[in-house]
């Protein structure tokens, strides 16, 4: 038994190299803009710190996306779309303070970050070179003909189109978009709203359970099961029916806008992507 030689790496197209550079700049800009927003905020409260920390974690998402782009992964396009859209919402909800006018540095930073995210989406979906590059699947050990090789493993299931992958990635954001406002709401419980403790536990439990429900539905969705499509729609509607009222009750109208709008956007993108696919 012998080991196959590693293939020679081909130089990536200029558009792909430009995209990886743009993603690195966007990751750095996310951290800078969030620090500016937090610095100029009238009050560095608990909720703002949680939302700021969550938004800054998106810089890690851009670094992961760089790895996917460099490897030519098929999943890079939907992942980049969801990451760009939710980053704009995550940062935008923190630019506007509860009262008063937003700080000028925060507005300038948000405008620059929005332009970077739009440029990322344009390159991912409008560049023919990038589209031709993002066609690979994950690598794994393959034993074939007495040879062990580390190469691309093509899934046995039918190849999913881009809209199904977009629906899958968008649905996976439900859980963190529920857990972040639930964590913010713990501040109100600590302030003396003991009656909200059962609702808060329900919120955390639902946020964790949704991740498993989405994983189950999307696993069969990519295999062409029509019932999985209907199940994911029901999960999406259930998430909205639970999360939005809890945001309004525990976080007020401000929390409903800041935390409910990103979830509503992810749900709309999931439903639209399911609508665009052929059953």
Q: Which residue did the predictor score with more confidence, 9 or 32? A: 32
pLDDT at 123 over 50: yes
| pTM for the full predicted model | 0.75
What are the residue ranges spanned by the domains of the chain? 1-154, 157-279
For 159-202, how does the pLDDT look when each residue is reduced to its tens digit (9 = 90+)? Answer: 556 788 889 889 999 999 999 899 888 876 666 667 778 888 99
Q: Which residue did the predictor score with more confidence, 177 or 103? A: 177
The conformation of residue 172, written as its DSSP 8-state character, comes to: T
Cα–Cα dist 98/255, whole Å = 10
- List strands edge to edge, sheet with 147-152: 2-3, 147-152, 139-144
Q: Which residue did the predictor score with more confidence, 194 or 21? A: 21
The pair of structure tokens assigned to 100 is 């008063």
Select from 89, 167, 79 the least CA-distant residue to 120.
Answer: 79
The number of CA neighbours under 13 Å toward the Cβ of 129 is: 11
Q: How far is CA 57 from CA 63, 117, 122, 176, in A?
A: 10, 16, 23, 11
Q: Give every CB contact of residue 198 below 8 A, 6+ residues apart in sequence.
A: none
Instruction: Output the pLDDT for position 165.
Output: 83
Q: How many residues does the chain have?
A: 279
The pair of structure tokens assigned to 238 is 């259930």
SS3 158: coil
pLDDT at 131 over 50: yes
CA 210, 212, 218, 220 torsion-angle sign: negative
pLDDT at 10 over 60: no
Cα–Cα dist 44/47, whole Å = 8
Q: Which residue did the predictor score with more confidence, 12 or 35? A: 35
SS3 12: coil
Instruction: Output the pLDDT for position 152.
Output: 57
Q: What is the mean pLDDT of residues 129-155?
A: 65
Q: What is the mean pLDDT of residues 112-137?
A: 88
The conformation of residue 73, written as its DSSP 8-state character, comes to: B
Cα–Cα dist 103/223, whole Å = 49
Percent of the chain beyond pLDDT 70? Answer: 80
For 61-74, how does the pLDDT look when each residue is reduced to its tens digit (9 = 90+)? Answer: 899 999 999 888 88
């Amino acid at each position: 038994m012998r080991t196959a030689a590693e293939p020679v790496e081909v130089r990536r197209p200029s558009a792909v190299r430009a995209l990886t550079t743009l993603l690195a700049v966007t990751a750095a800009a996310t951290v800078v803009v969030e620090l500016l927003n937090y610095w100029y905020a009238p009050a560095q409260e608990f909720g703002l710190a949680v939302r700021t920390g969550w938004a800054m974690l998106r810089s890690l998402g851009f670094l992961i996306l760089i790895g996917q782009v460099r490897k030519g992964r098929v999943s890079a396009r939907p992942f980049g779309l969801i990451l760009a859209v939710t980053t704009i919402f995550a940062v935008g909800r923190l630019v506007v303070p509860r009262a008063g006018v937003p700080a000028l540095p925060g507005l300038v930073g948000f405008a620059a970050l929005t332009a970077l995210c739009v440029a990322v989406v344009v390159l991912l979906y409008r560049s023919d070179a990038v589209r031709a590059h993002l066609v690979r699947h994950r690598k794994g050990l393959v034993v074939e003909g007495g040879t062990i090789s580390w190469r691309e493993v093509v899934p046995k299931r039918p190849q999913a189109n881009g809209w199904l992958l977009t629906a899958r990635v968008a649905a996976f954001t439900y859980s963190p978009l529920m857990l972040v406002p639930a964590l913010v709401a713990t501040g109100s419980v600590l302030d003396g709203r003991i009656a909200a403790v059962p609702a808060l536990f329900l919120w955390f439990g639902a946020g964790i359970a949704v991740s498993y429900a989405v994983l189950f539905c999307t696993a069969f969705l990519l295999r062409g099961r029509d019932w999985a499509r209907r199940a994911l729609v029901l999960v999406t509607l259930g998430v909205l029916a639970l999360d939005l009222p809890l945001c309004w009750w525990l976080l007020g109208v401000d929390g409903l806008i800041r935390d409910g709008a990103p979830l509503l956007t992810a749900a709309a993108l999931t439903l639209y992507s399911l609508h665009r696919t052929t059953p």
